[in-house]
Structure 1
Amino acid sequence: MPRLTKSLLLFLLVPALLMTAACSVSLDRDPPVRTTYLMEAKRPALPVHEPVGGSLVMGTVRVAPEFATRGLIYRMDDTRYVSDFHHDWFAPVRDQVYSTTREWLHDARVFHTLLPPSLAREADYRLDILVNTIHGDLRDEQSPAAVLELQAYLSSRGQEGERRILLASTLQSRQPLSEATPAQVAAGLSRGLADILTRLESELTQALP
């Protein structure tokens, strides 16, 4: 079974050891500090499109239950994942993917208008996202990576209210990490989201009539 990398082992074990020591000496000591990370994926200053679609509303962003925790998740072997209680996301993954995707599409101007959820029935198109996996892959300590995979569904509104799927795409990004630390995993997942949104932007443009 692959063993924990030394750097990550320290991140996971030291806070627990410190807590044990604090309890044995004094109950007045401060608990271990938790570190939070923001998922950042800002669209670079690339040329924007002439809008080819009408109005879009962001639908739901769902996250597979095993990855819906706020803590960073590491894959240790083929079947075992662990969640890091002391290093977590600033906001739930679904909220960060939702807001980042919406801001990216606003900057890209693929659609003429991005409508709020309250006007969903008026939108010409709807984009729904499912996050299949979001984790640090530490199975090989010589080549750790941040892995993100999501499915995107673009649908259009028909004349009688029915919706027609225009795009169903599975997009995965694997970002190499210089070392297996929580900060590197979080940064790698941010790069992975930017990579995926770059490709999603292109696919949306091609899928629109």
Structure 2
Amino acid sequence: MQTSGQLPAKRRARAEVLSQRQADASRVHADAARLPALLAACAGHRTIACYVSVPPEPDTADLIAALHARGVAVLLPVLAGHRAPAWAWYAGPEAVRAGWRGIPEPTTPTLGPEALAECSLVWVSALRVTPEGDRLGTGGGWYDRALAHAASDALVATLVSDAEVVPVVPLDPWDRRVDLIITPTRSIATGAVPR
């Protein structure tokens, strides 16, 4: 079992954000407002890793569909039956099934963690993030482990609400920073450097 010096603080912060997200009636409007900035951030990238969001996370379904329609190769996580990060290429909505905890995942062949190295942009989930790129993830460290396989020059980005950009988040030594934050009203280049 993973131990964390910040585990109680992280649990409290995660519970607080999830409660706020579930109560937020403006989520659909915020998702629509954020989409143009997400697509702008993806411009010029031909191979992108993303995740399929589930409520109350900020929506990624429209982003994934738009990228696929534009001929961008989209790599998505495969969680069912995999302790180590695993991936598969998105082949359209008809090639998606419910995976671990009901999270949608592709039905295309499963690839190992090294597949992430093919992507020049990696979208990661977050609950809170600082302007410097410190990220509070959803728990479990999946993306921290996955990002060890990313290309050294890959852009790592996340999408959150404006209120989820905060001065500080609880951190552990293995937590990975993000380079870009997209909210419904702004894009923040963090200038992150590896910890």
Q: Same fold (TM over 0.5)?
A: no
TM-score by length of 2: 0.29
Q: Which has the larger radius of gyration?
A: 1
More strand by share: 1
Structure of higher RCO (CA pairs closer than 8 Å, 6+ residues apart): 1
